[in-house]
Amino acid sequence: MTSLNIKSFVKRFALGSKVRGSRALTISIALLAIILFFGLTIALLTNKEPLRTGYTAGLTAPNSEYPMGTDQLGRDIFSWTLHGIRTALYVSIISTSLTVVIAVLVGLPAGYFGGKFDQILMRITDFFLSIPRFILIIFAVIIFSPSISNIILILSAFSWPSIARIVRAEVLSTKEREYVQAAKVIGSNSIDIMFSEILPNVIPPMLVASALQMSDAILAEAGLSFLGLGDPNVPSWGRMLAIARQAIYVGGWWTLLFPSIFITATVLAINLLADGLNDVLNPKSVR
């Protein structure tokens, strides 16, 4: 095969991944727009409270008053599902932001200065990557009581190492570049170089990792709530799906269907966002 042909292959890949990436981004943004619309207009769509029992005498199929039906205790599924959007986004956005801040504060100096600090960071990440995360989260939630803010803190505390590793790797490949060396030569201080010269390069891969971190946080919170380890005062999809476990045996399929659609759509949208970002920002990767 001639070099020309190889070039055209490379081109096709780059193009193909861009097209794929932008298609993923389009679907993702459309889905997110719908989800956000529901999440923001709850007050206009329903006057029911999400966790209040006794709207109906028992499990009721979807009807005009309760568009998604009610559960065994007469709670309105529609209102709870929509409030679930807020919970999921709240948990994922806050915990991911925290995770990213810690990851940057640790990963930047570790990559930039290297040495002992870097060694310690790598061992800590090794540690967190080699223990079963979900069991650790369960364990910590039991110890610290499952309030929503504790859950967010625990998720962040156990998630930053893998993103810090990404930051570090990116810093390592950036710090030898000419413009960083130039900044050093003209006497900029290390903090300036790290934040204004290196950090911008770290952002693209971090965006992808943060998106994945968001969907991970949504699934973790829902998983905890499903197991009865969530915050009982917060409307979570996980707890709805725990309620569905009994309801589906007496015909209450709606208790399973609606929260499942919303959690899957949200996680799917964010995963597509990560995929799309990855393809667009990193077109060399083979797709």
Site residues, another protein (CB under 8 A)? 1, 6, 9, 13, 16, 126-127, 129-136, 138-140, 142-144, 215, 219-220, 222-223, 226-229, 238, 241-242, 244-245, 248-249, 253, 256, 259-260, 263-264, 267-268, 271-272, 275, 285-287
- In the bound state with another protein, the residue whose beta carbon lies nearer, of 133 and 184, is 133
Tell me the C-alpha distance between 236 and 216, whole Å: 15
The candidate with the shortest Cα–Cα distance to 221, out of 104, 50, 96, 71, is 96
Q: Where are the alpha helices (DSSP H) in 145-285?
A: 148-174, 178-185, 190-192, 199-226, 237-247, 253-281
- Type and span of the H or E element at 3: helix 3-40
Token pair 């110890």 is at which residue?
143
- In the bound state with another protein, the residue whose beta carbon lies nearer, of 3 and 47, is 3
Nearest approach, Cβ of residue 194 and another protein (Å): 26
Nearest approach, Cβ of residue 239 and another protein (Å): 11
| Bridge partners, 76 (sequence order) | 70
- In the bound state with another protein, the residue whose beta carbon lies nearer, of 137 and 198, is 137
In the three-class reduction of DSSP (H, G, I as helix; E, B as strand; rest coil), residue 189 is classed as coil
Count, residues in the chain: 287
- In the bound state with another protein, the residue whose beta carbon lies nearer, of 98 and 256, is 256
- In the bound state with another protein, the residue whose beta carbon lies nearer, of 19 and 182, is 19
* The token pair that represents 228 in the structure block: 């009865």
Contact partners, residue 223, CB within 8 Å, separation at least 6: 134, 238
- In the bound state with another protein, the residue whose beta carbon lies nearer, of 138 and 183, is 138
Nearest approach, Cβ of residue 21 and another protein (Å): 13
Token pair 């005062």 is at which residue?
233
Nearest approach, Cβ of residue 182 and another protein (Å): 32
Burial label, 150 (beta-carbon count in 10 A; 0-12, 13-18, 19+): middle
Nearest approach, Cβ of residue 41 and another protein (Å): 24
Nearest approach, Cβ of residue 257 and another protein (Å): 9
